[in-house]
């Protein structure tokens, strides 16, 4: 297995399950030729959207959030009223019909070197929401279309969904994901990122400890989820990517 010419990936690792059989493949680093471990960990990126949706559906089943109530109701003042005059429902955040702008829309494009330098940066929900809706030095973006009239894949809506989870529960997104999804499903190889801390590189057969309600670690080995822009959130090894 080889990366395609021109790809910016450092390497490739894949796993395929079919008819009870498993195939694993990997490709070396295109620059150094170094082999990628079949147990390599990586950011699972937008797989975290599924987790956010599950948490909000659970909160809806618990009667703590109404999927058809507006973002403006739950998070007043978050969307600038002069640009976002129509209500956007929680459901529309989840099904990509909100019409919201994209993450950091209108910001100067980053270079490949900047992407590499910033790849492990931790970006909070508040920070990406502020930099998208109220950027410094340029006008803030408005809606792409009237909510509910079209469907357009949108990551920014899930930044707001993450913020909403924290607002409703009073807990960090890391805590809610750990207690509601990762721990019950025994997803021991999924680990979180935390602000001002190095991203952990899990070892094989690692275990995770407790995550308190603020998202802080009570042991050195925990699960990892975070609001990461462009660079994804949790890290998972291929065997556990389901």
Task: Express each pLDDT in 206-226 by its tens digit.
Answer: 333 344 555 544 332 233 333
Query: Whats the size of the chain, residue-wise?
Result: 242
* Active-site option among 37, 46, 146, 214: 46
46 among known catalytic residues: yes
pTM: 0.76
Confidence of residue 47 (pLDDT cuts 50, 70, 90): confident
The predicted structure's pLDDT at residue 45: 81
Cβ-based neighbours of 95, under 8 Å, separated by 6 or more: 151
CB 100 within 8 A of CB 116: no
CA distance 89 to 93: 7
Is it the case that residue 233 has pLDDT exceeding 70? no
The predicted structure's pLDDT at residue 81: 96
CB neighbourhood size of 205 (10 A)? 8
Confidence of residue 106 (pLDDT cuts 50, 70, 90): very high
CA distance 233 to 215: 14
């Amino acid at each position: 297995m080889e990366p395609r010419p021109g790809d910016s990936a450092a390497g490739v690792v894949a796993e395929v399950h079919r008819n009870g059989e498993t195939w694993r493949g990997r490709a070396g680093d295109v620059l150094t030729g170094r082999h990628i471990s079949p147990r390599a960990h990586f950011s699972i990126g937008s797989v975290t959207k599924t987790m956010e949706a599950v948490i909000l559906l659970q909160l809806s089943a618990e009667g703590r959030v109404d999927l058809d109530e507006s973002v403006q109701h739950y998070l007043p003042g978050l969307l600038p009223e002069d640009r976002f005059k129509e209500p956007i429902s929680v459901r529309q955040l989840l099904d990509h019909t909100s019409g919201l702008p994209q993450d950091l829309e209108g910001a100067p494009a980053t270079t490949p070197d900047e992407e590499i330098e910033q790849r492990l940066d931790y970006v909070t929900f508040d920070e990406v929401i502020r930099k998208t809706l109220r950027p410094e030095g340029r006008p803030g973006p408005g809606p792409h279309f009237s909510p509910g009239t079209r469907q357009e894949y949108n990551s920014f809506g899930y930044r707001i969904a993450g913020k909403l989870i924290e607002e409703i529960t009073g807990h960090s997104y890391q805590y809610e994901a750990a207690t509601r999804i990762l721990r019950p499903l025994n997803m021991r190889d999924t680990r979180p990122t935390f602000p001002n801390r190095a991203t952990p590189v899990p070892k094989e057969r690692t275990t995770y400890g407790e995550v308190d309600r603020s998202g802080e670690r009570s042991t050195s080995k925990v699960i990892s989820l975070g609001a990461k822009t462009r660079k994804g959130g949790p890290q998972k090894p291929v065997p556990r990517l389901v």
